[in-house]
Amino acid sequence: MQEKLTFMSDGLELSAVLHVPDSRKPGQRLPAFIVLHGFVGSKDESHAEIQARMMEEFGYAALRFDFRCCGESQGERGQVRCFDQVADAKNALTFLAQREEIEPSRIGVVGHSFGAAVATYAAGVDSRFACVISSCGWGDGERKFRGQHPTPEAWERFTGLLEKGRKHRQETGESMWISRFDAVPIPEPLRRNLSPKAIMEIPVETAISMYNFRADDVVGDISPRPSLFFHTANDSITPTEQSIRLFEKAGQPAELMLVTGTSHFPLSKDDAPRTKSMIKGWLDKFFPTA
């Protein structure tokens, strides 16, 4: 069962879809996941929707939603700030915990890419999240961007855009907009995995927000709640070392899974049978439905 709904976050109405397994019995309260989408992406036709459907298939309820300024949610389109997204995740948990279908003490958070960084940070600062699954996430914005712009020329071009954007803001009071791929390069063959509702241009302030965002600083506070850092090996979008470092900084019980043979979208059609089984095995051990 899927129900389209909305909830409030800092005065903004956010668009969401609640997944509840058909097997739920009347009066039963289920463990659940908040599902966070990727960089200026969408809850719909995306890796977030795949994750939500997967959780429903496994017997969990799942709430996928559009961050403010994205998708069908309110807020100036594209004006994304990392700590606003953390607030959205926390407000989503507050909303979901009030639903009659949900066991409020057993709500985890799962995110992909940008959403994984937000999920990790949110779980680090809010103990109400019962567990976290980070899929191809990152923990240090500056180090992540250095990996995404690895040559001296590419780094100079990227940081030059940030500086130009700062000056533009100071001189005009308005944002300078750039292609999302100038901030986060994505190889052409992998762009088909983006939601058709994803935003293609961002203000420089969004990239600066990501540059300064460090889930590394709070990941150790998730323990003793369980965490899974799931990443594709040799990821061509978000450097794999980001999840390795998060795992090194996390307290137990934490687990790191690196998947070869695919890049950045581990639940895409060809890889899902294998990668879903790996995630299901972790859930059965550390956050079972029963």
Tens digits of residue pLDDT in 208-243: 999 999 999 999 999 999 999 999 999 999 999 999
- Better-scored residue on pLDDT, 263 or 145: 145
Q: How confident is the model at residue 69 (pLDDT cuts 50, 70, 90)?
A: very high
Q: How confident is the model at residue 269 (pLDDT cuts 50, 70, 90)?
A: confident
Q: What pLDDT shows up at residue 290?
A: 81
User: Which sign does the torsion angle of CA 53, 58, 63, 64 carry?
Assistant: negative
Burial class (CB in 10 A: 0-12, 13-18, 19+), 6: middle
Q: How confident is the model at residue 153 (pLDDT cuts 50, 70, 90)?
A: very high
- CA-nearest of 78, 81, 64 to 10 is 81
Task: Locate all alpha helices (DSSP H) within the chain, ordered by sequence.
Answer: 47-58, 82-96, 114-125, 141-148, 152-172, 180-183, 204-211, 241-249, 272-286
Q: What pLDDT shows up at residue 90?
A: 98
The pTM assigned to this predicted structure is 0.96
